[in-house]
């Protein structure tokens, strides 16, 4: 009885997921690639550029789908992976794939000939439709664009190592960058924490779009101090506090920018205001030549 109920629920979730995939811009979805309610698959234009679907191949993927995102929808597990199947690939494609697998930091095969380049797990979401749709929203808005930016970098340079989406708790916003009214009302500490929380979505979006290298000088913590520091960065808020009205909503792409602590310090060094990003870039150009 219980099994039956769980089965029906999974079917309902799968139908919603399929519907979500069909309507999401930038996603290529074919229901023929899904195995009923357990695994739903989709691709994106970038995946198809890197490893095109094979035509008329037989074997594991009759549809000739080798590079894809897979949504595993189980009663006890919900996860999304970016998977690559080596079965039936041409020799050159196989060689490229092995390189891609190596640079994405995958340590083992998920199944024979199938590798997960990345795995995103949502342990709280299994079997719960509302949590699953929240996970899909988060995935498509932050994780996937960031991962695809990394994949595109690998496409240009096969030695590039693909990085995971940074932990937003390591992305710092200076107190000077927070709207004043939020700092003075009530208890300072609570409000700061609260503001950090409320800004985490904005920070995620900013990083998904711009990455975690300094947008002024290019500094990358992971490249200089080692992989355990990858993803650390400051986020500068470009809108002067005096321009912020009560109903202001931060625009993560227009208003925020990732910068290293050095450039951030310089941005804030103008008496009575900020230097602009362009002004700091010009300072570097003027002083650091060759």
Residues that bind Zn ion (CB under 5 A): 174, 177, 214, 216-217, 219, 236, 260, 263
In 74-108 the beta strands, taken as DSSP E runs, fall at: 78-85
- To Zn ion, the closest distance from the beta carbon of 38 in angstroms equals 46
Distance CA 165, CA 141 (A): 12
Distance CA 237, CA 219 (A): 18
The nearer residue to Zn ion, 151 or 211, going by C-beta atoms, is 211
- To Zn ion, the closest distance from the beta carbon of 215 in angstroms equals 8
- To Zn ion, the closest distance from the beta carbon of 247 in angstroms equals 22
- To Zn ion, the closest distance from the beta carbon of 194 in angstroms equals 19
Cβ-based neighbours of 183, under 8 Å, separated by 6 or more: 175, 191, 192
What does the H/E/C string look like for 10-79? HHHHHHHHHHHHHHCCCCEECHHHCECCCEEEEECHHHHHHCCCCCCCCCCCCCCCCEEEEEEECCCCEE
The nearer residue to Zn ion, 87 or 183, going by C-beta atoms, is 183
CA distances from 56 to 41, 88, 100, 160 (A): 19, 11, 24, 32
Find, among 120, 140, 124, the residue nearest to 132 by Cα. Answer: 124
- To Zn ion, the closest distance from the beta carbon of 195 in angstroms equals 14
Structure tokens, 277: 């990003």
The nearer residue to Zn ion, 205 or 236, going by C-beta atoms, is 236
């Amino acid at each position: 009885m219980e099994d039956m109920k769980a089965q029906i629920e999974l079917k309902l979730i799968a139908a919603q997921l399929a519907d979500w995939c069909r309507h999401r811009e930038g996603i290529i979805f074919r229901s023929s690639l899904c195995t009923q309610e357990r695994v739903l698959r989709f691709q994106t234009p970038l995946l198809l550029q890197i490893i095109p679907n094979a035509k008329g191949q037989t074997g594991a993927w009759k549809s000739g789908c080798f590079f894809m995102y897979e949504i595993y929808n189980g009663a006890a597990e919900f996860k999304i992976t970016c998977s690559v199947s080596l079965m039936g690939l041409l020799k050159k494609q196989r060689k490229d794939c092995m390189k891609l697998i190596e640079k994405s930091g995958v340590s083992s095969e998920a199944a024979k000939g199938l590798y997960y380049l990345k795995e995103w797990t949502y342990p709280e979401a299994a079997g719960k439709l509302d949590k699953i749709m929240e996970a899909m929203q988060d995935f498509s808005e932050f994780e996937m664009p960031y991962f695809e930016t990394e994949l595109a970098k690998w496409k240009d340079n096969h030695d590039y190592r693909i990085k995971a989406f940074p932990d937003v708790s390591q992305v710092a916003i200076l107190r000077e960058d927070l709207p004043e009214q939020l700092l003075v009302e009530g208890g300072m500490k609570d409000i700061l924490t609260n503001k950090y929380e409320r800004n985490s979505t904005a920070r995620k979006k900013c990083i998904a779009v711009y990455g975690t290298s300094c947008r002024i000088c290019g500094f990358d913590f992971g490249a200089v101090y080692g992989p355990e520091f990858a993803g650390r960065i400051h986020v500068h808020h470009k809108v002067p506090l005096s321009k912020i009205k009560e109903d202001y909503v931060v625009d993560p792409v227009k208003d925020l920018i990732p910068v290293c602590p050095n450039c951030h310090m310089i941005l804030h060094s103008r008496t009575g205001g900020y230097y602009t990003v362009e002004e700091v870039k010009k300072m570097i150009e003027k002083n650091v030549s060759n």
